[in-house]
Amino acid sequence: MHGQSLNPAEKGDFTSAFGQLGSDVVALQEIDSIFDRSGNINQPAEISDAMGAIDWGFAPTVHGTPGFSWKAPSKENRRVHTSKDAPLAGHYGIAIATKIPVHHWLRLELGKAWIGLPLLIANEKGKVAPFYVKDEPRVAIAAVLENGWTVINLHLSFVPFVNLFQLFKVTRWAKKLERDYSTKVALVGDFNLPWGIPTKVTRWRRATVALTYPSWKPAISFDYILLRKGKELKSVEVTAPEMTISDHRPISIDI
C-alpha cells in the first residue's frame, strides 16, 4: 500500500477493493489518516468498514508526508490508535484491520536510518523514476487475537543492514509475545528485503512466494508472510486479486 491509487480516476474505488479479498485479517502499510492527498478520509476505518471488520489499529509513524515534509508523532500519539479513538489528522503509518476480536494491541519502535537512498518511486502513470528519499521512523504493530494467533505487521527501512537489524528486533519481540500470551505468531508486511532474505537470516518459514513489486509487472518480492519453523500448522498461499491502489500487490494465506 501507499495510500493512493495508481490511477487517479479510480480514487473512489480505494476502499471497495478490500471487499474482494475476503480476508479475516488485513495488514496495511503506508496508510493515511485524514490527508488531503488521499481524500481526507480515515483510511484504517474506511478499509475496516469495507471488509466487514470489527476492529482496527493504526500506528502513526510520521506527522506529515513521508519523503517530503514530516516530523515524528508527538509522544502521546506514539501508540496504537483504534476504532475507539478519534482519528488523527495528517498522520501516516501502518495498520491492521480484523474480523477476529483483539485482546491486546501492541507497538514496537524500530527507529530509522540516519541516511536516505535514491529509490525508484512510482508516479501516477504507473512508471518509476529515481528520487532521493530520507528514511522515516519505523514501527511494528501487533494484534493479539482471540483465536490464539498474533499478527505482527511491519514496514522495515529500505536502507540495507538497518532493515536487518529491525527484523531481528521484531523476531525477538515475537518470541516474547509467544511466551507472554501463549500465542502463535505471523509476521506480515513490507520487509524491503528481496530474494527471500528474511527466511535466510531467521528461523522463520516463508508462507508466500508470489512476486509483488511493481504491481503492474511484478518482478521481485519485498513482501512476506512468515511463520515460525517447527510449529505444526499448515498454510496455503491464496492468489490475491490484482489491485490498482498500490505499487505492491497483496499477498494472502489460509491457515
Collapsing DSSP states into helix, strand and coil, what is residue 169?
A: helix
* Mean of all residue pLDDT scores within the chain: 88
Q: What is the CATH number of domain 8-254?
A: 3.60.10.10
More confident residue, 142 or 131: 142
pLDDT at 1: 43
Going by pLDDT thresholds of 50, 70 and 90, the confidence category of residue 235 is very high
For the chain, what is the total number of helices (H) and then of strands (E)? 3, 15
Question: Looking at the DSSP assignment, which residues form a beta bridge with residue 149?
Answer: 184
Q: Distance (Å, rounded) from C-alpha 58 to C-alpha 33?
A: 9
Please check the confidence at residue 168 and state whether its pLDDT lies above 70. Answer: yes
Percent of the chain with pLDDT over 70: 88
Whether the Cβ atoms of residue 92 and residue 30 lie closer than 8 Å to each other: yes
Going by pLDDT thresholds of 50, 70 and 90, the confidence category of residue 9 is very low
pLDDT at 36: 85
> Per residue in 195-221, pLDDT tens?
999 999 998 999 999 999 988 889 999
Contacting residues for 172 by C-beta, under 8 A, at least 6 apart: none
**23, 116, 117 from 37: Cα distances, Å:** 27, 23, 24
pLDDT at 16: 72
Please check the confidence at residue 182 and state whether its pLDDT lies above 70. Answer: yes
Which of 90, 88, 65 has its CA nearest to residue 76?
Answer: 88
Grid cell 485479517 — which residue?
25
Whether the Cβ atoms of residue 229 and residue 203 lie closer than 8 Å to each other: yes
Whether the Cβ atoms of residue 35 and residue 90 lie closer than 8 Å to each other: yes
Interval 104-129 mean pLDDT: 78
> Per residue in 241-255, pLDDT tens?
777 788 899 999 999
> Per residue in 75-115, pLDDT tens?
999 999 999 998 899 999 999 999 999 999 999 999 998 87
More confident residue, 234 or 81: 81
More confident residue, 89 or 125: 89
Q: Distance (Å, rounded) from C-alpha 200 to C-alpha 205?
A: 9
Interval 155-183 mean pLDDT: 97
